[in-house]
Amino acid sequence: MKKLKMGMIGGGIGSFIGAIHRNAAFLDNCIELVSGSFSSDFNNSLETGKNLYLDPRRIYKSYDEMFLEELKLDDKDRIDFVSIVTPNHIHFDPAIKALENGFPVIIDKPMTYDTKQAEQLVKKVNDTKIPFAVTHTYTGYPMVKEAKSLISSGKIGKLRKVAVEYPQGWLTSSLEKTDNKQASWRTDPTKSGKAGSMGDIGTHAANMVEYVTGKKIIKLYSKVNTVVEGRLLEDDGNVLISLEDNIEGNLMTSQIASGEENNLKIRVWGDIGGIEWKHSDPNTLLVKLDGQPTQIYRAGVDNSYLSEFTLANCRTPSGHPEGFIEAFANIYRNFSYSVNNFNNSKPNDPKYDYPTVDEGLRGMQFIDAVIGSSKSSKWINI
């Protein structure tokens, strides 16, 4: 194992998610940022690099230049992987070029602008076997992993139903008509893709369902809405979902739910019990077995009743909060293990999992199905 050198694409001054990625990457001291092309505005990129105490010679005008110049360096000096934190329409090109140049990739979601691009990335990763991660952050929470572990062990029996919701309120008004950069590109179909809320947070909700249950969504029926007048993409929607093994469920996303922050919540029911996890109380998992009082599972490194899978992703003593940065950091740390294992031709330990290119493709297929179903008023297979 060695400390990995990261190059970043996007995440310059004014970026929403770039600093989050960096903080998560740095938390375990197994990754250091050494280079980047942080913005299409080179002055922004230079200032970002200066603020991050980087060598100005390794601040590049473009990601093409970064790949070219980094490959000229000795193995011990060049970047080991790239982190891509740009808007959706600038995901595919740097990702495919990174893979073509032998660099592993960790990328924000949704993985690409459209499904065709996602399929190309899957093929490239399958051909090269290069590690590729997608930051579906919420799967990094320890108690989400405990939910997955309990379900797979049969704790709540044969699965019957799932419900997931992700309401936000930040786009309740026409924020994109102000100088808000995030609202501007996330509501612009030329930058975001064909979906608004379903692409931005619906992919998180769908990923959560498939991760926790271990079952794929096989078909869906949706109705999406554009509530704010003049908005170019949907900002609200409801989806009926059918999973493998005759499991039925529903999925809701909204970015016009006034007063909500990031209130992701998932419930899964089997024939002998159910589980409930919500982002507003991420250290807690409720386990509700038929005929018994509700059990409260709590995250913490000294909670021996938790699974080995969960404990491998716990960081703080019992009773101390583990939050968004820690969950994000679990993905970066686990990905770094994968990169080191790849470099040393070693297998990965399944305890240290992370969302891969395949989950990225599933997200794009989900978007296609949701938008297609809403337009046609028909069930769509995924």
CATH number of 142-316+361-381: 3.30.360.10
Q: In whole angstroms, how far apart are CA 23 and each of 100, 340, 353? A: 27, 20, 20
Query: What does the angle CA 257 – CA 260 – CA 264 come to, to the nearest 5 degrees?
Result: 100
- Based on its alpha-carbon atoms, the radius of gyration of the chain, rounded to whole angstroms, reads 21
d(C-alpha 228, C-alpha 230), whole Å: 6
How far are the Cα atoms of 76, 86, 229, 232 from residue 177, in angstroms, in the given order? 47, 21, 12, 12
Segments making up each domain of the chain, as ranges: 4-137+332-356, 142-316+361-381
pLDDT value of residue 92: 98
Which residue(s) pair with 7 in the sheet?
35, 82
29-38 pLDDT, tens digit per residue, is: 999 999 999 9
The candidate with the shortest Cα–Cα distance to 4, out of 95, 89, 113, 103, is 103
Q: Over pLDDT 90: what percentage of the chain? A: 95
Per-residue pLDDT at 300 exceeds 90 = no
- Residue 302: the pLDDT is 83
Task: Give CA–CA dist 276/143, Å, rounded.
Answer: 10
Residue 232 clears pLDDT 90, i.e. is over it = yes
Q: Which is nearest to 351 in space by CA: 214, 146, 109, 213?
A: 146
| Average pLDDT of span 166-193 | 96
pLDDT single digits (tens) 52-86:
999 999 999 999 999 999 999 999 999 999 999 99
The H or E element spanning position 112 is none
Mean of pLDDT over the chain: 97
Dmax (CA) for the chain in angstroms is 66
DSSP state, 218?
Answer: E
**Tens digit of each residue's pLDDT (9 = 90 or more) over 307-353:** 999 999 999 888 888 899 999 999 999 999 999 999 999 999 999 99
258 phi/psi in degrees, rounded to 5: -50, 130
Distance CA 86, CA 226 (A): 25
Please tell me the predicted confidence (pLDDT) of residue 55: 97
Which CATH code, of 1.10.3720.10, 3.40.50.300, 3.40.50.720, 3.60.21.10, is assigned to 4-137+332-356?
3.40.50.720
**pLDDT higher than 90, residue 242:** yes
Domains 4-137+332-356 and 142-316+361-381 share a fold: no
- Res 22: pLDDT: 98
